[in-house]
Amino acid sequence: MNMTKYTSPLDDLNAGFAIDLDTAADARAELKALFLCVDFPNRRAAESKHPEPKFYYDLLAGEGLEVFRQISYGRLRLDVELADRWYTMPKCDADYEMERVITWEMHRNYIKDALDAAQDIDFGQYDILYIAPVEGSAVPYSPTMTAKSWPVEAANGSKIGLVVTFGADMYFRRGKLFAHENGHILGLPDLYLYDVPAGIRDCFAHCGTYDLMGLIEALAPDYLAYHKWRLGWIDDDQTAEAARGEVGTFALTPIEVPGGLKLVNIPLDGENGYIAEYRTPTGLDEKLGADGVLVYRISAKVPNGMGCVTVIPPEPEKYLALDTHTPDGLLLAGQSVEREGIRVTHLGGGRIEVSRAE
């Protein structure tokens, strides 16, 4: 059977299977990154609590690469080089206005100043750039620029288009923040909602406490099996597709460990469908508290940050409650979920039965 791989008409980050490599990095390739630390005229590194660049590298890249080792089953080949000195930005930190919501131009201007401060570096030899500001600076959050086709040019003529500018949220999100922002670098969308419609509890109503591309501090932060498949860390022969008009039984293995069947695809059409995967309290998901099957809807026509992936709980017409103590939406043994003529039952231990109408 030819596996259905959802297509998207959108140019921005989305839930379509194919990754746009004109914009994002190739998760299957060997990637080289540079970790750059910057301070400001009004906030110098020598006077800070953490004057060593390696502190920031260890906090983000050091921990983040271990998170990625687990997520990718060791398949991500990302080498991160530390520029072991400080580069001083030309403006004071607050002058960049790096708030929660910034414009494309504001972000590029910040990146441009960092590149210009480091005129001894040829940025063209790297695939990805990470910029970390000195502790205590007025840079609260960590946006990502995915623009391989529209790179920022440094004063020395070198260019780079894949950049993460870290902020103060790095101190409590640490390596998982590194894995979230690099998810965008690799072409994955945000799973949380940018705007919360009336009647919905919060911005995590679609993704709940699964996958750090939604809630970084999630109870089960490991990437969705569908994301791992898109990135090439799950092979086609580790997936199965449920046929129309039939009842099928599948033995899923935990997504937290390599090997075995990792997902069952249940397509509605070329742009929409359901995925079933099996989660256990293992590895990054050790706080999950129970094992169960996760069923979610892929909507490839829905933009990034607007609910392109929706976890489907057993209860009908319910949005997920964000609870970091209870894995809301997880199908425990004996539970079923039914939507759009598709029924998925968790028989126990990752074994599922899928029935669907013609």
Q: Which two tokens stand for residue 274?
A: 């359901």
Instruction: Report strand pairing: 239-241 vs 263-267.
Output: parallel
Residues carrying CATH 3.40.390, the chain: 30-185
pTM: 0.95
The per-residue pLDDT string of the chain (358 residues; one tens digit each, 9 = 90 and over) reads 688 999 999 999 999 999 999 999 999 999 999 999 999 999 999 999 999 999 999 999 999 999 999 999 999 999 999 999 999 999 999 999 998 778 999 999 999 999 999 999 999 999 999 999 999 999 999 999 999 999 999 999 999 999 999 999 999 999 999 999 999 999 999 999 998 887 777 888 889 899 999 999 999 999 999 999 999 999 999 999 999 888 999 999 999 999 999 999 999 999 999 999 999 999 999 999 899 999 999 999 999 999 999 999 877 766 666 555 667 889 999 999 999 999 999 999 999 999 998 7
pLDDT for res 197: 82
128/34 Cα distance (integer angstroms): 6
Bridge partner list, 278? 254, 293
Instruction: Report strand pairing: 159-160 vs 144-146.
Output: unpaired
Query: Of 3.40.390, 3.40.1620, 3.30.420, 3.30.70, which CATH number belongs to 30-185?
Result: 3.40.390
User: Residue 238: exposed, middle, or buried by beta-carbon count in 10 A (0-12, 13-18, 19+)?
Assistant: middle
